[in-house]
Structure 1
Amino acid sequence: MSQTHVESQSVTTENKTWQMPDTLILIFVVGILASILTYFVPAGHFDTQQVSYIADGVEKTRTVIDPMSFSYATDENGDLQYNKVGLFASGGGIGLMNFPFEGLVSGSKWGSAIGVIMFMLVIGGAFGVVMRTGTIDNGILRLIDKTKGSESLFIPVLFFLFSLGGAVFGMGEEAVAFAIIIAPLMVRLGYDGITTVMVTYVATQIGFATSWMNPFSVAIAQGIAGVPVLSGMQMRMVMWVAFTLIGIAFTMMYASRIKANPELSHSYGSDAHFRQQDIGNQDSRWNLGDTLVILTVFATTVWVVWGVVAHAWYIPEIASQFFTMGFVAGIIGVVFRLNGMTVNDIAASFKEGAGVMLAPALLVGCAKGVLLILGGGSTDEVSVLNSILNSAGGVISGLPEAGAAWLMYVFQSIFNFFVTSGSGQAALTMPLLAPLADIAGVTRQVAVLAFQLGDGFTNIIVPTSASLMATLGVCRIDWGNWAKFCWRFILLLFTLSSIVVVSAHLLGFS
């Protein structure tokens, strides 16, 4: 016991030695740097121009930057103008200590920041009600029961299900709980803990990265970038199916090799813990109420897709449909007493689900505040941001357009090491990369695509991902052993994603 206490103290001390700063801290540091930058970088501005394009057979126009029109602002004496930001500002101005508030209240219900924030809270609350019914949990448990002894179906069906969860509602942390249940079963079937991580957490990140509707990543990024929310879903659906099938194939090939020779597994030693366990019978509830909840979620998804395609629904309409979904699921849960739900549980679970989204919502608002420090994101007004964009555009625009698109993907992949939150990364990078895409000749839709692929796939390996480390922990896998296994898979995903991003640009994805 004494030795355990000493080891615990040692681990605690080691953990306290280095901690990755919270995303909110990173944003505040960026805010400080942005404020300092206003004293050294002169302000400039772009002219804008209207461009026409064809979408779904209809000619549309969009206001974009004219990259050749940049010029620095000067005062009456002909000197360069600096928009210096102090600690405070009054009258609705921007200062270092009031940039979070100004960012949170900026925009309108149609976009960043306040519209996107409210969209996140409503969506989070709606899915909180759905999760409270227990239907999602019990559906997976029931699947486990039904596929025992059917190894040829168990892995692909589970992988598909978790990938779908990541694509539809950003499933990630939830994989940890299911890994606890699935890990012993996987080992008893002749596989290993690594296979468990693949069919749970990794599958969610495949879905998360290639999602066509995830409200916590692609929808936020599109809202910030000024791209219609859930647009481009046809291409993303194909991409999701392709990457999911690739993930399933990779996992099954690995699993078959481990089943033939378990000692080849990097987690063979730690799997001894599960080999020594007896797996009890896991009974999963499923009744008419669960079926109705699943049908409600499915019907809402189809309804929203139809509304976006047929009627160009945007943030307000989409949020209202998902709110209705949560309301209906809650009523079903009460009527059928799913998980003993009461009317008050509907309200409690909605608040809890919305509460989960409060932190990323704050990130969106604060990141918008940083943008306000740099000039507010309006390219036709004098701002430091325009000068930065012009300089960055000078670097990237020197590359072929396809190279610029690929470089955006590489940047997002690297940046994800520091900010693993999808909404947080979107809040930090999309306000800058969206107009930069205009300068580089890349569509904003491709910039969003580069974001979601870069943000999602590197979550599979970066040790700063809390969900990854938690899943590895419950499967008793050391991160070093995990990295030895998954680097080939990461390399495969990186190569394929690079091809997707470059191809999307060449095909004019918008």
Structure 2
Amino acid sequence: MSEHPEQAAPAPKRSRFTLPSAYTILFGLIVVMAVATWLIPAGAYDSDAEGNPVPGTYHEVPATPQRIVVDSLTAPINGLYGIEDEAGTISYYNSGVLFGAIDVALFIIVIGGFLGVTMQTGAIQAGIGRLVARLRGREKWMIPILMSVFALGGTTFGMAEESLAFYALVIAVMVAAGYDTVTAAAILLLGCGIGVLGSTINPFATGIASGFAGIPISDGIGLRILILLISLAVGIWFVLRYAERVRRDPAKSLVADMKADNDAHFKLSADDATRQLTGRHKAILAVFGLAFVVMMYAVIPWSDLGIPLPTLWWWFPEMTASFLFFSVLIGLLGGMNEGRLTSSFVDGGRDLLGVALIIGIARGITVIMNNGQITDTVLHWAELALGDVGAAGFAIVMYTLFLPLSFLIPSSSGLATVAMPIMAPLAGFLGVPQDLVVTAYQSANGLMNLFIPTSAVVMGGLAIARVPYGRYLRWVWPLLAILAGVTVVLLGVAAVLS
């Protein structure tokens, strides 16, 4: 016998490092900006009659450095409230840019309540269940149809975390039809994600970014629809090609080694197989869609477009009130009593409270920069750096810049709040429509949130489907490259034609 018996090798230590949350990152940026006000020269542009900065008029002004601790702590609060002038009046707009973010944050919370009430009625779940049941036996058609349905949710109300509720049902049906869990996960993850990438009226991306850029949400919608349709078509083709290959030869599945276990685990339940869509559910779904149609109509400046339709000039306060009204209407249609309706609304709002807080913290960065008078200095530097790239080059540079920023700040609302006050005026300097900056931002952010490991939707969805993240990443990267290429080309063409 050996004098030193063999011992089991110690298990490798796992790294305890994790990426900080968006809250920590954004608050850290506030502190960095406070320090920057001591280092970056203060400056300002002259303004035109409408309060917009005039290119070529930048000049230095006396420095007003910010207190690192006190001003960093109060910046998010001031960012929510707005700016108080000498007369004690709170100003929410300046140079066409929204300063106070309280109305945006409240809008987000009410949207959460609206979605919470709708989900509580079971109408969305029943609608998807009915669609799945109708297509049983023709499962191949489920891929384009379901991806389109989920993309519609992504492009209109930013459907993301809500999709996690449908994984069990879709996976069970697809596995029973001879596909694998990768196909099922892709239907949801890529369907919703591409919808968000091509957001048209998504209030969490397009709405917030347009608000902070000081433009209507309808500006640039034609380009965003084109990006959505082309990206969705490419995504459907990519998933269909893989799915049919797996159906013909299960050994080609990315999770072929897990097939027996997955087939047993994801067996379709009796409840899912008999899910019913009632007349009440249909009415609720109709009203749910109507809420977004009303919002879209009310924010479009029909008179500016020369279309003989009444222009309502709605903005965040009116849109918030509208979704509050539709929340109550859907709750009544769903047969909810007062207690259930209010609790569902509060629960839904609570789910998005974190998003509202992110907006306040992110807005604090702009408050520090504005109070330290370095915003125009940064804008001036960017003007000098990008002044000769041309419209197409500017749009592409913006898209490229938003990719790493989206990894640093995966929250679409947080990134929009931080970036739009600087990027949107820069577009104006170069004669590029500001809606191109909004489209570049949301497309880049949407692309990154299809695969980054900091996304709860990506990691949660893959965990439910039992798809290892590394395998998913190796499979999906060609699609990501194609989507990026499509977006860059369309942004460049749109900039040239603008």
TM-score range, shorter chain: 0.7 to 0.9
What does 1:451-470 correspond to in 2, within 5 Å?
451-470=441-460
What does 1:445-456 correspond to in 2, within 5 Å?
445-456=435-446
Query: Residue in 1 aligned with 2:196?
Result: 208
1:505 aligns with 2:495: yes
1:370 aligns with 2:358: no
What does 1:129-140 correspond to in 2, within 5 Å?
129-140=117-128
In the alignment, the residues of structure 2 paired with residue 480 and residue 358 of structure 1 have an alpha-carbon distance, to the nearest angstrom, of 32
SS at match of 1:402: helix
- Indicate which of 434, 443, 446 corresponds to 2:424: 434
Query: Residue in 2 aligned with 1:55?
Result: none
SS at match of 2:258: coil
Structure 1 residue 30, shift from structure 2 partner: 0.6
Structure 1 residue 152, shift from structure 2 partner: 3.0
In the alignment, the residues of structure 2 paired with residue 437 and residue 144 of structure 1 have an alpha-carbon distance, to the nearest angstrom, of 45
Query: Residue in 2 aligned with 1:314?
Result: 315
Query: Residue in 2 aligned with 1:98?
Result: 74
In the alignment, the residues of structure 1 paired with residue 430 and residue 222 of structure 2 have an alpha-carbon distance, to the nearest angstrom, of 25
Structure 1 residue 139, shift from structure 2 partner: 1.0
1:121-164: per-residue Cα shift (whole Å, max 9, x none)? Answer: 22222222111111111111121111111123211111111111
Query: Residue in 1 aligned with 2:88?
Result: none
Query: Residue in 2 aligned with 1:303?
Result: 294
In the alignment, the residues of structure 1 paired with residue 160 and residue 118 of structure 2 have an alpha-carbon distance, to the nearest angstrom, of 16
Structure 1 residue 410, shift from structure 2 partner: 1.2
Higher mean alpha-carbon deviation, 165-174 vs 468-477, is at 165-174
Instruction: Letter of the 1:132 partner, please give it.
Output: Q
- Indicate which of 464, 472, 495 corresponds to 1:482: 472
Query: Residue in 1 aligned with 2:306?
Result: none
Higher mean alpha-carbon deviation, 155-164 vs 395-404, is at 395-404
1:279 aligns with 2:268: yes
RMSD, aligned α-carbons: 2.2
Query: Residue in 2 aligned with 1:54?
Result: none
- Indicate which of 402, 422, 434 corresponds to 2:392: 402
Structure 1 residue 10, shift from structure 2 partner: 7.6
Query: Residue in 1 aligned with 2:3?
Result: none
Structure 1 residue 290, shift from structure 2 partner: 0.4
Structure 1 residue 436, shift from structure 2 partner: 2.6
1:389 aligns with 2:414: no
Query: Residue in 1 aligned with 2:326?
Result: 325
Structure 1 residue 109, shift from structure 2 partner: 7.0
In the alignment, the residues of structure 2 paired with residue 307 and residue 67 of structure 1 have an alpha-carbon distance, to the nearest angstrom, of 33
- Indicate which of 57, 66, 71 corresponds to 1:85: 66
What does 1:415-426 correspond to in 2, within 5 Å?
415-426=405-416
In the alignment, the residues of structure 2 paired with residue 239 and residue 388 of structure 1 have an alpha-carbon distance, to the nearest angstrom, of 30
SS at match of 1:38: helix
Instruction: Letter of the 1:432 partner, please give it.
Output: I
In the alignment, the residues of structure 1 paired with residue 256 and residue 51 of structure 2 have an alpha-carbon distance, to the nearest angstrom, of 57
Query: Residue in 2 aligned with 1:337?
Result: none
Structure 1 residue 64, shift from structure 2 partner: 3.7
Structure 1 residue 477, shift from structure 2 partner: 1.0
- Indicate which of 252, 267, 274 corresponds to 1:264: 252
Q: How many residues align?
A: 465
In the alignment, the residues of structure 1 paired with residue 224 and residue 208 of structure 2 have an alpha-carbon distance, to the nearest angstrom, of 15
Structure 1 residue 486, shift from structure 2 partner: 0.3
What does 1:155-174 correspond to in 2, within 5 Å?
155-174=143-162
What does 1:189-268 correspond to in 2, within 5 Å?
189-268=177-256
Give unmatched runs, 5+ long, in structure 2. 1-7, 84-90, 303-310
Whether the aligned pair in 2 keeps the contact of 1:408 and 1:450 (CA below 8 Å) is: yes
Give unmatched runs, 5+ long, in structure 1. 1-5, 51-61, 74-80, 90-94, 335-340, 377-381
Whether the aligned pair in 2 keeps the contact of 1:188 and 1:275 (CA below 8 Å) is: yes
SS at match of 2:449: helix
CA separation of 1:363 and 1:280: change in aligned 2, threshold 3 A = closer
In the alignment, the residues of structure 1 paired with residue 120 and residue 218 of structure 2 have an alpha-carbon distance, to the nearest angstrom, of 26
Structure 1 residue 440, shift from structure 2 partner: 3.9
Query: Residue in 1 aligned with 2:280?
Result: 289
Q: Percent identity?
A: 28
Query: Residue in 2 aligned with 1:58?
Result: none
1:157-212: per-residue Cα shift (whole Å, max 9, x none)? Answer: 11111111111221111222311222232223222222112111111011111121
CA separation of 1:250 and 1:211: change in aligned 2, threshold 3 A = same
SS at match of 2:203: coil
User: Taking structure 2 as the reference length, what is the TM-score of the superposition?
Assistant: 0.88
In the alignment, the residues of structure 1 paired with residue 264 and residue 225 of structure 2 have an alpha-carbon distance, to the nearest angstrom, of 42
What does 1:166-185 correspond to in 2, within 5 Å?
166-185=154-173
Whether the aligned pair in 2 keeps the contact of 1:119 and 1:319 (CA below 8 Å) is: yes
CA separation of 1:427 and 1:272: change in aligned 2, threshold 3 A = farther
Query: Residue in 1 aligned with 2:37?
Result: 38
Structure 1 residue 218, shift from structure 2 partner: 0.8
Query: Residue in 1 aligned with 2:338?
Result: 343
In the alignment, the residues of structure 2 paired with residue 28 and residue 306 of structure 1 have an alpha-carbon distance, to the nearest angstrom, of 37
In the alignment, the residues of structure 1 paired with residue 421 and residue 350 of structure 2 have an alpha-carbon distance, to the nearest angstrom, of 25
Structure 1 residue 39, shift from structure 2 partner: 0.8
What does 1:9-20 correspond to in 2, within 5 Å?
14=14, 17-20=16-19
Higher mean alpha-carbon deviation, 28-37 vs 268-277, is at 268-277
Instruction: Letter of the 1:480 partner, please give it.
Output: G
